[in-house]
Amino acid sequence: MMKMYIEASHERCKKKGIRPENIFSTRVLEGEPLKLKLEQNKELISTAAPFLNHLYNFVQGSGFFAILNDAEGCILSVIGDDTILKEANKLKMIPGAYMDEENIGTNAMSMVISEGMPVQVSGKEHFIKAYHKWTCSAAPIKDSNGKIIGIIDLTGYSENVHPHTLGIVVAAANAIERMLEVNSINSVLRISKQHIESIFDSISSGILTSDLSGNITSINKHAVKMFGYSEYELRNMKIWSFIDNWSEIVSILKARENFVEKDVNVRARTNKMQFTLTTYPIYNSDKEIVEIVHIFYELKKNRKLAGKILSGQAIYTFDKIICRNKEFLKTIEYAKKIADSSSTILITGESGTGKEVFAQSIHNYSIRKEEPFIAVNCGAIPRTLIESELFGYEEGAFTGARKGGNAGKFELADEGTIFLDEIGEMPIDMQIKLLRVIEEGVINRIGSHRQIPVNVRIIAATNKDLAKEVEKGNFRKDLYYRLNVLPIYLPPLRERMDDIPLLIEYYMEKTSKRLNKRSINIPMEYLEYLKNREWQGNIRELENVIELIVNTESIQTNFSEVKSKDSSKAKSIQSMLSLEQVEKQHIINVINDTQGNVTNAAKILDIGRNTLYRKLEKYNIDCSKMEHCSEMERMDG
């Protein structure tokens, strides 16, 4: 059978015009083309090298040399006895030479390419006469799909021909194939491992895995950064050596219960820290826990999320501010320009002018818009609680402190904005601590010496004249100047008369939809009265007036008979008195409903406490004589 293949090869050589007298292959790569060929086959070369050496060692001293070719027959490497290699070099059987049928006629390597099977060619079976002194045994190297990717050949003098030589070559080729397959699997596993590690490291939480004895089996880069230890140090530590809750975690998981988002103490390299921990058990086929995945979240990130949930994101934006007044429009443009600055903003203006609306709009116009917006009313928090509200406290800091401690508003606002409303009501001792936060960017929880860095944009607001408060000794001068870096003054509604019709239209539509009532058509005479009203409660008061109109529908009734300018003033006064009577009764009803709690009543009426006190005085409502008025509110009064 083999003789038939060789004869067929000789016939092809004749037809191709190959001369038996040729000595060299007609195609030999040199220089850059050879470098490129070797680079393309570097995996085959490196994998076959030990087997090629082993093959040569087996026949060393017997006049043989081993050759590795690529799938096209190009020689990639040669190893053998010096004597026979010198003869091979004379025939240019060197790296870069093509041993295929087209370039050097019939030989074992060319037969492997044409027939795809192991072949032994000896003596005159070679088409080239110079090769008649050789015996060649060659076998294909195939990939997992059966495609030839290389050839291994053992060539020696023809008198040393032996059928077992071909068997040795075939065995070497099979071994190379197995190793390439293993390499391929290892490569896939390596890539898969790298892929998993990349995902593992890209997660912005610290992740450790451990067995039930606490031996750490894997660590991501974020855990190394969070705890301050090197990866080598962590791998040589027991997880229970730096986590207090280890035995509790194991017990909970063994009981098939969840350990999710629990605050734990971790002994990091520099100090003791708190993290939020969630664990996941890994089971074997027998449903036994063999490994535990520990995911550590930074409390700061949890606090930011909590801040968004507890306070809500800022909802107001500049485009929602109803305005046509030129000076007020300039104020809006100025606020937009300073929105991205990290400098502190102080918003001043009477109660009800929209200071928090501006603060939220600034936040939403800034690069911090996706971060928390935390609003704090400094005048509504008792003096004894304001420090813990702003800066938080550690577990055991005082009687009644919750387990695990509590983050303050500044921690919740980290990376975002904190709005300190009624800043003029802040006690002097707290003003000193606020000044330190502004200057150093750190806070200390009550009961802790650990400094917590916070990156917070501070927007303060007040209806007081802080400069006068400084003169009176009620407000620190240094804090005033640190707050008043970017001042914004919001004018009262009486200075924005041209905005009143727009605001009435807006709140009429908004209120009627909310109450599911019809909009009321306000006569021009009454509109003029509203435009010229003093509006001590500003926009908040205007909104309440509109709500009264929608609820009572009193305007259209009182003005149904208005037919001349002469009667307009009298009718306007009549309507005004009617509305004020309704407003007075509405306030009395709300205060009764809240059992005399002025703070709660102000919230329901959606006006400031100071505004409500002014209205109580205006309508001569004596809270202390009301049936449900609390002792605290009497004292406030």
| pLDDT average, residue stretch 293-310 | 63
Alpha carbon distance 608, 539 (integer Å): 12
Point out the least confidently predicted range of 60-64, 76-80, 305-309, 433-437. Answer: 305-309
280 and 417 together in one domain:
no
| pLDDT average, residue stretch 315-334 | 93
445 and 479 together in one domain:
yes
Q: Are 584 and 523 in contact (CB under 8 A)?
A: no
| pLDDT average, residue stretch 589-599 | 82
Whether 193 is in a domain gets the answer: no
Q: Residue 419 pLDDT more than 50? A: yes
Whether 196 is in a domain gets the answer: no
Q: How sure is the predictor about 301, in pLDDT bands with cuts at 50, 70 and 90?
A: low
Instruction: Return the amino acid letter for 46.
Output: S
- Domain end point (choices 491, 522, 548): 491
44 and 179 together in one domain:
yes
- The pLDDT assigned to 565 comes to 40
- The CATH code of the domain that includes 33 is 3.30.450.40
Torsion of CA 627, 628, 632, 633, to 10 degrees: -70
- The pLDDT assigned to 559 comes to 40
- The pLDDT assigned to 575 comes to 53
Whether 593 is in a domain gets the answer: yes
- The pLDDT assigned to 9 comes to 93
Alpha carbon of 397 to those of 34, 265, 388, 449: distances in Å?
A: 77, 16, 10, 12
- The pLDDT assigned to 353 comes to 92
Whether 197 is in a domain gets the answer: no
373 and 456 together in one domain:
yes
User: Given CA atoms 332, 333, 334, 337 in this order, what sign does their dihedral have?
Assistant: positive
- The pLDDT assigned to 197 comes to 64
539 is written with which tokens? 């926009």
545 and 409 together in one domain:
no
Alpha carbon distance 112, 141 (integer Å): 10
Q: Let me know how long the chain is.
A: 637
- The CATH code of the domain that includes 272 is 3.30.450.20
What are the strands of the beta sheet with 262-267, ordered from one edge? 216-219, 206-210, 289-298, 272-283, 262-267
Helices and strands of the chain, counted as H and E runs: 26, 17
- Domain end point (choices 454, 474, 491): 491
| pLDDT average, residue stretch 481-493 | 95
335 and 484 together in one domain:
yes
**Between 241 and 37, the higher pLDDT residue:** 37
DSSP tag of 138: E
557 and 621 together in one domain:
yes
Whether 214 is in a domain gets the answer: yes
Q: Residue 361 pLDDT more than 60? A: yes
Point out the least confidently predicted range of 25-39, 87-101, 580-594. Answer: 580-594
Give the closest residue to 227 by CA, choosing from 326, 128, 294, 179: 294
pTM score, whole prediction = 0.48
Torsion of CA 19, 21, 24, 25, to 10 degrees: 20
- The CATH code of the domain that includes 405 is 3.40.50.300
3-state secondary structure of 225: helix
Whether 195 is in a domain gets the answer: no
282 and 243 together in one domain:
yes
User: How many structural domains are present in the chain?
Assistant: 4
Q: Residue 89 pLDDT more than 80? A: yes
Q: Are 607 and 541 in contact (CB under 8 A)?
A: yes
126 and 244 together in one domain:
no
483 is written with which tokens? 């707050």
3-state secondary structure of 65: strand
3-state secondary structure of 428: helix
| pLDDT average, residue stretch 147-152 | 94
Q: Residue ranges of the alpha helices (H) in 60-139?
A: 82-90, 101-104, 108-115
Q: Residue 531 pLDDT more than 60? A: yes
Tens of pLDDT, residue by residue over 506-530, are 999 999 999 888 888 887 878 888 8
Alpha carbon distance 257, 609 (integer Å): 49
Whether 306 is in a domain gets the answer: no
Q: Are 348 and 489 in contact (CB under 8 A)?
A: yes
- Could you tell me what percent of the chain has a pLDDT over 90? 41
User: What is the chain's alpha carbon radius of gyration, rounded to the nearest angstrom?
Assistant: 44
Q: Residue 390 pLDDT more than 70? A: yes
Alpha carbon of 544 to those of 316, 404, 420, 601, 619: distances in Å?
A: 19, 43, 25, 13, 16
171 and 31 together in one domain:
yes
- The pLDDT assigned to 274 comes to 74
Q: How sure is the predictor about 35, in pLDDT bands with cuts at 50, 70 and 90?
A: very high
> Cβ contacts of residue 330 below 8 Å, gap of 6+?
none
- Domain end point (choices 491, 523, 542): 491
> Structural domain of residue 627, as residue ranges?
498-636
> Cβ contacts of residue 602 below 8 Å, gap of 6+?
608, 609, 611, 612
114 and 246 together in one domain:
no
| pLDDT average, residue stretch 467-473 | 94
Q: Chain-wide mean pLDDT for the chain? A: 84
| pLDDT average, residue stretch 82-102 | 91
Q: Residue 305 pLDDT more than 70? A: no
Alpha carbon distance 214, 461 (integer Å): 53
| pLDDT average, residue stretch 621-626 | 66
- The pLDDT assigned to 630 comes to 40
17 and 140 together in one domain:
yes
- The pLDDT assigned to 626 comes to 56
Whether 90 is in a domain gets the answer: yes
215 strand-pairing partners: 238
